[in-house]
Each structure stands twice: as structure tokens, then as C-alpha cells.
Amino acid sequence: MEPAAAIRSALAVLQRPDDVLPVYFLTPAVSVVVQTVVTGGVAVAMLYLWATSRLERVLAALAGRELQPPPPDAPAEAFDEWAASIAPALEPVATPVVALVAVATVLAAVVVFAAVVVAVTAAQLSACHGRLRDRRGMTAAVRGVGRFWTSILLVRVLEVAIWAVTVVTALATVAVALLAGGLVGVFVSIVVVPAATGVLLAARAVFAFTVVAVVVDDVGVGDAVRGTLEFIAVNPAAAVAYYVLAAGGVVGLSALAVLLAIVGGAPLVTVLGFAFVAPFLDLVKTGLYGGHRGTVSPPAAPDERLVARLGRGLRRGCREAVTFVRRAPHLHGLAAAILLGGGVLGWWSAGPFADAVSTSIAGRLADHEPVTATATFAANNWTVAVGASLGGLVLAVPAASALLVNGVVLGVYARTEEAPLELLAFVLPHGILELPAIVVAGALGLHLGVVAWRSWVGNDGEALAEELRRAFWVLVGLGVVLVVAAIVEGFVSPYYYRPFL
């Protein structure tokens, strides 16, 4: 398949999004799953400190101390003095058990991150290959996780090993050469650094297609590497075209991130990355490699105009969201209870610090700019909703954890706010939309956890695939709600109450 044909095929697939984008919505779910591990580690450490009365000693030692850190523009000496005043109170926390829990939590987070990323990669590439064969992408994704997970993991381990050996060898060679001194050291450095960089780039170029070869050819690591090298040798122009396209995507997103970071709209880049750029690039490289193997027959692009499809999709998303709420009231009640329980926990846990630490909604709104704030709120809140809901696929635990943590944060802010009435006035207009959306996203995560468990026990991948397609449309509907909430939060919530308070 020629690069132009691969690009057209990718765009055609993306115009029917519910059979490929759900697995790319798993990208923000990865961080939610890892955060759940970290939250569990923190909870274990806190329970240990509470059971051994160390937590009580810490709270007693912190009583009466200045817990509010100096402002960012304060002299460095002020930070040093503040840290020195707090450190003695935290000494009971420094125990071997807490250190062991911290180390175990970090190791568990790294292992879980690697496992989930590999599983997500297998699902994404399987969905791409399935759709490019004009088959059901979600069905292919569900089946592909178990089928290709091990091989893709080994591919990643091999790539990391090559990078590690190359970097260590290059650093050791340069260090020895520089210790020898003279022009020899400089010459060796000039030669070794570019050579090592070339090896790293070559490895990345090969392994970019190796994971695709695993899925398209249904082979192990060795055959996938051989298939990749053959593809690059036979189709160098196609491979280079993909590399240029991928580099352009990375550079473009990076430049946009820098630009939006200046005005505070960086979350938009995250949405653009996982909702368009990543699936587009994966579809292109799968089309190129699959075309080389003769295993793809891409679907035709729909005849309906893009604007009409977009409007129809938004209406369908709203309908699916309403339908989901109606058919799962028990899950929404449970999600609301978890969120409320987190709020109570946050309020209670912030109690000992309420007099020493303060937050201010007025301070957070000091530099508020409605347009960029609206875009940031919409993108960030929807990303959180997507991550919490699809993170629920891991036995619903990450969805419940996300609800609990969100509740804790809200409770802490409410307890430490300098002007509670002003905070309530600010939250109320957009909160009546945003908080129910958080509950619906959490309930969707709980639902997907149950479906995933039943699918695994009953070996019914098609049921899970269908629920993933439905979840996609529910998240589209939540996106509409959160955009409206963001508009209210950006243009109404910060201002309407000021003449009265």
C-alpha cells in the first residue's frame, strides 16, 4: 500500500470512530490505573501510622506550626526555614515499614504501568488491523490482548535492552576516553555520541513496525523483527514516509503544547493526541505493513458529509448517556455514595490542618481568563472522565478509586477554604452539571469492570466489545455535558455572585 493510500484508509476508518477510538481512550486510563496503585500504597502507609499511633504524634507535633509554605517569590532562605520547622514533626513517619511500603508501591506502579501499556498497545493495534480488514475493530481488540500481549512485551523488553546497552556502552567509552585526556578523548566523544544516537534511532525505526508485525503476521519476536527488516528493505520509501509523518506529529504536538502552555490550554493537546494523532499514526503504519503483507482491505469512506456525521454523533452520544443513566440507577447510586464518602473523608482528614492551611477560590481566580480557562476545563475534565471510566475495566477498582480521590479533594478544599460561601457560589452553577458527569463516568467504570469480569469468566469477548462501543458513545455524551459545564465555569461561575458577596 502506498503512503497516500494508507493515509486515506486511516481517515476513512476514523470517520466511523466507535470501532477503533474506544481502545485509544484507554490511554488516559493507564495513568488512572497507576494512580490507583499509588493510592493503595499511601492508604497502607497511613493505616500503619494510625495503628501504631505515629499519625497521632505527627498531628500533635504539627499543631500550632506554620504549615503554609512561603509564596513562590519568597527568598530561598524562607523555604529553608519553613522546611526546618516542619521536618522534626515528621520524624515518626521515617520508619523502615513506611520506607518498605514506599519502595513496594513504586515497584508495583512500574510493573502495572508496563503491563497495562503493553495490553493497551495490543488492543489498539489489533483494532487497527481489524478495521483495515473491514472487520469489527473492538472484537479484534478484545481478542488481540490475550493473543499478542506476551510477544509485544518481549518486543518492548528487547528494545529497552538495546537502548540500555547502547547508552551504557557509549557513556563508558566516552568516560574512559575523557579520562585519558588530550585530543583522543575529544575525538572519541565526537565519534561515539553520533554513532550511539544513530543506533538508537535505527532501533526505534525498526521497532516502530515490529509491534505491528506481531499483530499482522501473528508471530513471535524473532519473526516479527525479520518481517520488519524485510518490509523496510522492500518498501524504504513507505517506511521513510511514515517516519516523517510520525516525527511531524510529535513535533507538531510538542509545539502546540508549548504554545498552549503559555495561555494555559495544554490539556487540549492531550485530547488531540489520544483521540486523533495516535490512532491516525497507528492506522497508517498498520496499513503500510498490512498492505505489504496483502492482509488489508480498507473500508470505504462514508458518503455522508463530515458536519452531518458530527451532529448525528453528538446526538447519539447524548441519547446513549441518558439511556445508560436510566438502565443502571444502582451503579449511579453506588458511584455517588463513593464520591460523597470521599468528600466526607477529605473534610475529616483536613480538620487538624484547617486553621494552619488555607485555600482561596478568590486567589485561584485572580488570573482567570475565560476563553482559555473554558478550553482547559473542558479538555481536562473530559480526559479525567474518560480515564476513570475505561480504567474501570481493571475489575472496577480504578473507577472506584478515582471517585474516592475526587471526593477527598473536594472535601479538603471545602474544609480549608477561607470563604466557604464564595466557594459554594462559584461551584454551584457548573457543579450541577460537572458533578453528575463525574458520577456517570464513575458508574460507567464500575459497569465496565463487571462486564470485563463476566467476559473473562465466561470467555465472551463479543459482549465486552459491544460494551466498549456503547461506552464510547456515553463518553461522547458526557463530553457535551462537560463542554457546557466548562463554558459556565469559564464565563459565569467566577463573576455572577460578586455583586452579592
Count of CB atoms within 10 A of residue 255's CB?
11
Q: How do residues 168-227 score in pLDDT, each as one tens digit?
A: 999 998 888 878 776 777 777 788 889 999 999 999 999 999 999 999 999 999 999 999
Could you give phi then psi for residue 146, rounded to 5 degrees? -70, -30
Helix axes of 137-180 and 461-491: crossing angle, nearest 10 degrees: 70
Q: What is the pLDDT of residue 264?
A: 62
C-alpha cell at 372: 482559555
Could you give phi then psi for residue 265, rounded to 5 degrees? -110, 25
Whole-number Å distance between alpha carbons of 277 and 285: 12
User: Dihedral angle at the C-alpha atoms of 149, 151, 155, 156, nearest 10 degrees?
Assistant: 20
pLDDT per residue, tens digit, the chain (501 aa), is 899 999 999 999 999 999 999 999 999 999 999 999 999 999 999 999 999 998 888 888 877 676 777 777 778 777 878 888 788 888 888 899 999 999 999 999 999 999 999 999 999 999 999 999 999 999 999 999 999 999 999 999 999 999 999 999 999 988 888 787 767 777 777 888 899 999 999 999 999 999 999 999 999 999 999 999 999 999 999 999 999 999 999 999 888 888 877 766 678 899 999 999 999 999 999 999 999 999 998 888 888 888 888 999 999 999 999 999 999 999 999 999 999 999 999 999 988 877 777 888 888 888 888 988 999 999 999 999 999 999 999 999 999 999 999 999 999 999 999 889 999 999 999 999 999 999 999 999 999 999 999 998 888 889 999 999 999 999 999 999 999 999 999 999 999 988 877
Q: Which of 72, 64, 68, 65 is CA-nearest to residue 359?
A: 68
Whole-number Å distance between alpha carbons of 37 and 13: 35
Go through the chain and tell me how many residues it has: 501
Whole-number Å distance between alpha carbons of 301 and 456: 34
Give the domain ranges of the chain: 3-38+98-293, 304-491
Whole-number Å distance between alpha carbons of 232 and 300: 27
CA 296 to chain centre: 30
Cβ-contact 358, 416 below 8 angstroms: yes
Cβ-contact 226, 192 below 8 angstroms: no
| Integer Rg of the chain from CA | 26
Q: Which of 319, 354, 356 is CA-nearest to residue 478?
A: 319
Q: How do residues 300-336 score in pLDDT, each as one tens digit?
A: 888 888 888 899 999 999 999 999 999 999 999 999 9
User: Dihedral angle at the C-alpha atoms of 188, 194, 196, 200, nearest 10 degrees?
Assistant: 180
Place of cell 508549548: 258
Place of cell 523555604: 79
Q: What is the pLDDT of residue 160?
A: 95
Place of cell 480488514: 133
C-alpha cell at 434: 460537572
Whole-number Å distance between alpha carbons of 346 and 228: 52
Q: Which of 19, 282, 344 is CA-nearest to residue 125?
A: 282
Q: Is the dihedral of CA 431, 37, 22, 461 positive or negative?
A: negative
Place of cell 473507577: 399
Query: Which residues, including other chains, have CB under 8 Å from residue 13's CB and lie 6 or more apart?
Result: 20, 128, 131, 132, 137, 283, 298, 299
Whole-number Å distance between alpha carbons of 138 and 141: 5
